[in-house]
Structure 1
Amino acid sequence: MLPENQQPTEASGGLNAEVDRPAQKTGRWVVTFADAGDQSAHVATLRSAGVSNVVSSLDFQGQAVQVAQTESSDAVIFSELGVAVVSADPARASEILSAAGGAVVSVEPEYVHHALGGPGGDEYLRGYRDGVNDVSARLLADAGASSAREARAPKFADDAQFSWGLQASCVSTSPFLGAGITIAVLDTGFTFGHPDFAGRDITSQSFVQGAATAEDGHGHGTHCVGTACGPQNPASGMPRYGCASEASILVGKVLSDQGSGDDTSILAGINWAVANRAEIISMSIGADVPEVSQVYEVVGRRALNRGCLIVAAAGNNARRDQLSLPPEQRFGFVGISANSPSVLAVAALDEELEIAAFSARSLAGVHGGNIDIAGPGVRVLSSWNLPRPEHGDQHYRSISGTSMATPHVAGVAALWSQARHVTGRHLWTTLTQQAQRMRLPSADVGCGLLQAPQ
């Protein structure tokens, strides 16, 4: 989405398989500067277009932007990333682009993103339903129209020692635990009183308006932190469900307790994670927008150059079990931010190592928009926070989504970073080269199923 016509970019809303639901916009604009490092030049560029009240992430200790303190400003610059979010009407957005000359790469609308899996939203409900339907359909597919309905035993299942995802990704046999590596999970936050994380090295920050701390009132973030960084020996005697049990954890609350958040919060979280030298950022969030965001492409590339790999959920907008739908609706597409070429996009597999019914497919004809790798994403056991007696122990829950596959990849990336002493682009290459090739189309699973170092 380069500004070829010198106009701010207006990406169209993503097509939802059940209803054409355009992605939400906030009315603000995200400006991407050509040079990441020259903040004084960024301020001058904005002021030349009449944007005078500008704050910077450098104004906050540790670049932990207090979003509430930026509300009265006209713009906030995220120094590590070379981007800014600007309050302006479309005419002013065009002025920024034209006044800047080559100093600005793009001006794009700010979107609202959502948690891609977990309860509390349509994506989870549809994803869970489609996952169940998908497994049921496969169990019956080979039986023909007659009567053979015997269920096959899955290739993987949770057992007393390990969740099925850790078995499938070979974490269960890896000697590495992610020691010395930092994973940032940007999501709905974390339940800090969870017994499995007592004594862990966790640094947190809220980037959500009205949320003073990163405490998780939703559950999605706690689940993702658990999969990426859960303990080697859970306190309750549950199976091990976490990949990198010795990794340091950064928890950035960028989504509200309702599971949504805007680009300002997400970019603030990425900026904070990069500034605090995280090797891996896990983002199980996105917006159903098929066009590649120049903002997230530049941010992903600049993070890689700083030795930080961003891993993002591909999206849950496929409806593979609904055979009557046209292909563009049945298979969905990879949305923002996972569709950026410099962000690792993760698809979801089930216990049979088949593609999950809800997991988005690569979008043909789009530079970016590709699935890069696949991970376990159906009925994934991990940490939980809300008291739900009907689901058993309130501290654990099994849910489905590309959100659940993404922290598997982030956690395994930490194991490879420890094992090979690689970061950034080299870590990306290692993950994809070491993945298990599959019989499934690369449009669905990329290079294949992630595998931990042995």
Structure 2
Amino acid sequence: MTNNLPIRPIQTTGRYLVLLPESDVRSGMSALTDFTGVRDTDMSVYSNLGVVVVSLDPDRLQSLNTAVAGDAPIIAAEPEQIMYAIGSSVSGEIVNYLQGYKDGVTNLADNLGNGNVALGEKVTPSIFTDGVATWGLQATNVVDSNYSGTGIKVAVLDTGLDLNHPDFAGRSITSQSFITGEEVQDLQGHGTHCIGTACGALNPPDPSSPMRYGIAHNAEIFVGKVLSNQGSGADEGILAGIDWAVTNGCQIISMSLGASASPGTPFSQIYEDIAQRALSQGTLIIAAAGNESNRPGVVNPVGRPANCPSIMAVAALDNQLGVSWYSNGSINPDGGAIDIAAPGGNAGQAPLPEIYSTWTTDLNAVQPPGALRYNSISGTSMATPHVAGIAALYAEATGKRGLELWALLMRDAQRLPLSSIDVGIGLVQAPI
């Protein structure tokens, strides 16, 4: 293992994301046309989120920046970036605004009370060996939960899903690809693994699976392929996937994807506003914090877009409830706080196990040695669907949505003897 995992350089596409007023997208588009000369037909418009993706030459970009700085109904513009699947193979003090935001969530959690949802007994690493379910499901009390995600829509935006996998037969699955020239079918494996954790079967029908690995086994699955079979995708596809999920009424969006953030890098205003708009419509976005650290010596900041205050950022834990060595932390003063932690495994450090879940069966896929229908890998990517699946259980149990659903996850998390810089509020726990 090297002394550090390098921060991946920012890669842009030459296009721009433009944020328009949520209440008046049409006026924003007209202003964009007036200032830049770009026609409506040359824009990709996601009206439910109030975002436009457009190509601009230097002169038109200067005109756009003038519009943003002036009184035009255009809120912000940012270069479009490339995002990546965050898996094991991919390599501070909060400012007053963020602290106020966290305090507000905490107060909301306190005011919600316990209602009819019982919080399970706190678990310890010594009991993660029942052999019936993965250690991640044991650590988060999923095995004792009376809920299954019935009636809840969970969108996983990733590399797609192996639609031929026997463990998903008979499930309610809605899918769409946002990658030009590629079907939803997952030829990479990352998306299938994440969906398996969030929404996999209660009793896997395949006899080769020795244990339960899935959480919200009755949830409706929405598969948005926003990353290619090579594991990468531009912002436009991800924004299109978020827009699609919100439009379809998904209560939870799980995104095990992102781009590295350097120390001192602020969060994206556009992703932040989109996440706020999604929350107001009852959709909670949960994203992986990133794997660029090399603990104990090197801790890198939470990546984009998980570093937005209105996106729930998930850190990874090993099966001793310690911070996984690669998991990023809350080190940027302007955005980038870890909110919660979940089982992510400890890649390459035996005997600490990784996260077991479904894998693509497609013969064209890149198959790790010995992998058939299942695989064990590690990362904050693997931690994120644990939180998403458990959020679906809370959504079913309480009817809460958006920010109130966020608050329930924070309220019932198991506090850990670790810094909030590393694990946020603590280990996510399922309702029972």
1:106 to 54, 76, 100: 76
- Provide the C-alpha distance between the structure 2 equivalents of 1:158 and 1:225, rounded to a whole number of angstroms: 23
Return the offset for 1:94.
3.0
Question: Alignment partner of 2:54: what SS?
Answer: strand
Q: Quick one: which of 119, 122, 132 aligns to 1:161?
A: 132
Q: How many residues align?
A: 380
Out of 344, 356, 366, the position equivalent to 2:312 is 344
What's 1:43 paired with? 29
Task: Report how far residue 339 of structure 1 moved.
Answer: 0.3
Q: Is the 8 Å Cα contact of residues 18 and 51 (structure 2) preserved in structure 1?
A: yes
Gaps of 5+ in 1: 1-15, 56-72, 124-152, 324-329
- State which of 316, 320, 327 in structure 2 corresponds to 1:359: 327
Deviation per residue, 1:69-116 (Å, 9 max, x gap)? xxxx3x211111111111013442231232352412211111100000
User: Hey, what does 1:436 align to over in structure 2?
Assistant: 414
Aligned amino acid, residue 246 of structure 2: V
TM-score, structure 1 as length reference: 0.80
1:274 aligns with 2:246: yes
2:108 aligned residue: none
Give, in angstroms, the shift of residue 53 of structure 1: 2.9
Instruction: Answer yes or no: is 1:453 the counterpart of 2:431.
Output: yes
For structure 2, the 5+ residue unaligned runs are 92-123, 346-353
Distance 1:36 1:370 in 2: 26
**Which of 196, 202, 210 pairs up with 2:181?**
210
Aligned partners of 2:85 and 2:257 also within 8 Å: yes
> Relative to 1, partners in 2 of residues 1:390 and 1:424: Cα closer, same or farther, differing over 3 Å?
closer
Distance 1:81 1:156, change over 3 A: farther
- Structure 2 counterparts to residues 125-140 of structure 1, below 5 A: none
Distance 2:235 2:368 in 1: 35
| Cα distance in 2 between the residues matched to 1:219 and 1:158 | 26
Instruction: Write out per-residue CA displacement over residues 335-381 of structure 1, whole angstroms, 9 at most, x where no aligned residue.
Output: 11000000000000000000000000002421x21000000001100
Q: What are the equivalent positions in structure 2 for 1:140-219 lying under 5 Å apart?
A: 155=126, 157=128, 159-211=130-182, 213-219=183-189
Q: Give the counterpart letter for 1:257 in structure 2.
A: N
1:375-416 per-position Cα deviation (integer Å, ceiling 9, x unaligned):
000110000014688754501011000000000000000000
1:220-273 Cα deviation digits (max 9, x unpaired): 000000000001000124211011000001000000000000100000000000
Kindly tell me: are residues 99 and 242 of structure 1, through their superposed partners in 2, closer, same or farther at Cα, counting changes over 3 Å?
same
Which residue of structure 2 aligns with residue 23 of structure 1? 10
1:20 Cα offset (Å): 5.4
CA contact (8 A) 1:45 1:96 kept: no
1:49 Cα deviation from its structure 2 partner: 1.7
Contact 1:155 1:351 in 2 (8 A): no
Correspondence for 1:244: 216
> Contact 2:32/2:74 (CA < 8 Å) preserved in 1?
no
Aligned ranges 1:223-242 → 2 under 5 Å = 223-237=193-207, 238=209, 239-242=211-214
Supply the distance in 2 between the matched residues of 1:155 and 1:362 (Cα, whole angstroms): 29
Q: Which residue of 2 aligns with 1:96?
A: 64
Query: CA separation in 2, counterparts of 1:333 and 1:384?
Result: 29
Q: In the alignment, which residue of structure 1 is the partner of 2:105?
A: none
Residue 51 and residue 248 in structure 1: after superposition, are their counterparts in 2 closer, same or farther (change >3 A)? farther
Q: Does the CA-based 8 Å contact 2:195-2:385 persist in structure 1? A: yes
How far 1:18 moved relative to its partner? Answer: 4.2
- Code of the residue aligned with 1:22 in structure 2: it is P
Structure 1 counterpart of 2:191, one-letter code: G
Q: Please say if residues 162 and 185 of structure 2, whose CA atoms lie closer than 8 Å, have aligned partners that are also in contact.
A: yes
Report the Cα distance in structure 2 between the residues aligned to 1:418 and 1:344, rounded to whole angstroms. Answer: 19
Q: Partner of 2:430: helix, strand, or coil?
A: coil
Q: Is the 8 A contact 1:17 1:332 kept in 2?
A: no
Q: 1:40 to 1:389 in 2, by over 3 A?
A: closer
User: C-alpha root-mean-square deviation of aligned residues, in Å?
Assistant: 1.9
User: Partners in 2 of 1:390 and 1:335 — Cα distance?
Assistant: 26
Report the CA distance shift for 1:83/1:390 in structure 2 as closer, same or farther (over 3 A). Answer: closer
Equivalent position SS for 1:104: coil
Counterpart Cα distance in 1 of 2:391 and 2:237: 24
Quote the offset at 1:36 in angstroms: 1.2
Maintained 8 Å contact 1:93/1:107? no
**Native 8 Å contact 1:373 1:446 kept in 2:** yes
Q: Look up the equivalent residue of 2:56 and give its one-letter code.
A: A
User: C-alpha offsets along residues 180-230 of structure 1, whole Å, 9 cap, x if unaligned?
Assistant: 00000000000001000100000000001211x211010000000000000
Pairing of 1:300-319 with structure 2 (within 5 A): 300-319=275-294
| Alpha-carbon distance between aligned partners in 1 of 2:222 and 2:127, rounded to the nearest angstrom | 30
Decide whether aligned partners of structure 1 residues 436 and 402 sit closer, same or farther in structure 2, where only a CA change above 3 A counts: same
* Partners of 1:280 and 1:410 within 8 A in 2: yes
**Whole-angstrom CA distance in 1 between matches of 2:395 and 2:250:** 12
Asked whether the 8 Å contact 2:194–2:381 carries over to 1, the reply is yes
2:55 matched residue in structure 1: 87
CA contact (8 A) 1:346 1:405 kept: yes
Give the structure 2 partner of residue 369 of structure 1.
336
Between 44-53 and 296-305, report the one with greater CA deviation. Answer: 44-53
Cα distance in 1, alignment partners of residues 135 and 189 from structure 2: 21
Residue identity over aligned pairs, in percent, reads 48
Is the contact between residue 391 and residue 397 of structure 1 (CA under 8 Å) also seen in structure 2?
no
Write the letter of the residue equivalent to 1:294. Answer: Q
Instruction: Report the TM-score when normalising by structure 2.
Output: 0.84
Question: SS in structure 2 opposite 1:363?
Answer: coil
Q: 2-side partners of 1:178 and 1:218: how far apart?
A: 26
Aligned to 2:384: 406
| Structure 2 partner of 1:138 | none
In 1, the alpha carbon distance for the partners of 2:44 and 2:23 equals 15
